[in-house]
Chain A
Amino acid sequence: EVQLVESGGGLVQPGGSLRLSCTVSGFNLRSHWMNWVRQAPGKGLEWVGNIEHDTNEKQYADSVRGRFTISRDNAKNSVFLQMDSLRAEDTAVYYCATVVPGAVDSWGQGTLVTVSS
């Protein structure tokens, strides 16, 4: 069974940093692109970025480029989202999800990040 479990969310002050982790099981992480999607309270879905499986090339949304960094450690079955210079508008539930050609197919339960003083 495919499982993705996000962790690392919490309350952080504006300008602060947080590192989210996504630990996966039930599939070979080495074979998958992985991405992060967020959802502000009561709002829709926003793609944050992804990381390719072979080249480790990354793409980011304009709203987070330069502040957020995605990385992966296949040996630890984990994907990470380093978030720096956090702003109030980054408050959201952050989901990690697997990517197959043409689809974001498996999602974690999400972890809540609250940016507030």
Chain B
Amino acid sequence: DIVMTQTPLSSPVTLGQPASISCRSSQSLVHSNGNTYLSWLHQRPGQPPRLLIYKISDRFSGVPDRFSGSGAGTDFTLKISRVEAEDVGVYYCMQMTEFPWTFGPGTKVEIK
């Protein structure tokens, strides 16, 4: 199975400041079709997850442009350019390149 790791696991951030989360996979996420199926999800307390970014850097419909994704192969990053109060919660990376699909452990973002 592909193991996903995230750093940090907890991130106190200041409103209006940038934030960054790293995700690493135990093997390359490049699919045989050339796509890389790495996505980012955000979960607020008591809510289901919601999709932010897919295929490394494509923003899902309605996601603010302060969220961006980057990376390749086994190393990926989610960046928030200016953190807003509604951005608190847990962020997960997820790979869909190979079954079983797997998630990272989550990074908890909270306001300082």
Residues of A within 8 A of B (CB): 35, 37, 44-47, 50, 59-62, 95, 101-110
Q: Is the CB of A45 within 8 A of B60?
A: no
Q: Which residue in A35, A46, A60, A106 is a CB contact (below 8 Å) of B103?
A: A46
Q: Is the CB of A104 within 8 A of B39?
A: yes
Interface of A is mostly: strand
Rounded to whole Å, the gap between the CB of A38 and the closest CB of chain B is 11
Q: How far apart sit A61 and B96, CA to CA, in the bound complex (Å)? A: 13
Q: Which residue in B48, B54, B100 is a CB contact (below 8 Å) of A103?
A: B54
Q: Which residues of A contact B41 (CB under 8 A)?
A: 45, 104
> What are the 6 tightest A-B residue pairs by CB atom distance, in nearest-first order?
A103-B54, A107-B48, A47-B101, A102-B55, A45-B103, A102-B37
Q: Which residues of B contact A108 (CB under 8 A)?
A: 48
Q: Is the CB of B106 within 8 A of A44?
A: yes
A104 closest partner in B (C-beta): B51
Decide yes or no whether B82 CB sits under 8 A from chain A.
no
Please judge, given known A-B contacts A44-B106, A104-B94, whether A59 and B100 are in contact too, CB under 8 Å: yes
Residues of B within 8 A of A (CB): 1, 35, 37, 39, 41, 43, 48-51, 54-55, 58, 60, 90, 92, 94, 96, 99-106
Q: Which residues of B contact A101 (CB under 8 A)?
A: 35
Q: Is the CB of A103 within 8 A of B96?
A: yes
Q: How far apart sit A110 and B35, CA to CA, in the bound complex (Å)? A: 30
Q: Which residues of A contact B102 (CB under 8 A)?
A: 47
Please judge, given known A-B contacts A44-B106, A102-B55, whether A107 and B50 are in contact too, CB under 8 Å: yes
Which of B1, B92, B100 has the largest count of A CB atoms less than 10 A from its CB?
Answer: B100
A65 closest partner in B (C-beta): B100
Q: Which residues of B contact A61 (CB under 8 A)?
A: 100
